[in-house]
Amino acid sequence: PTPSKIIDGQIWYDPAFSTHYKYWLFIKAWQQDQIELLNIHFEKHEKTL
């Protein structure tokens, strides 16, 4: 996915890419062994994605 904008140092994506963005985050987090951090990220931003 391509970032749409950056707010407060975080990359935000167009809602149309939210599903692909979550999948991409999952793969990236898995590669970095940070699934737990990923879950926290989703809980924090679930309403905005």
Is the whole model's pTM more than 0.85, yes or no? Answer: no
Which amino acid is present at 13? Y
Range of the domain at 35: 3-45
Write out pLDDT tens, residues 5-48: 666 666 666 565 566 667 777 777 666 655 676 677 677 666 65
d(Cα 25, Cα 14) in Å, to the nearest integer? 14
Tokens of 34: 């940070």
pLDDT of residue 28: 73
Number of structural domains in the chain: 1
Residue pair 36/25 in contact by the 8 Å Cβ criterion:
no
Radius of gyration of the chain (CA): 11
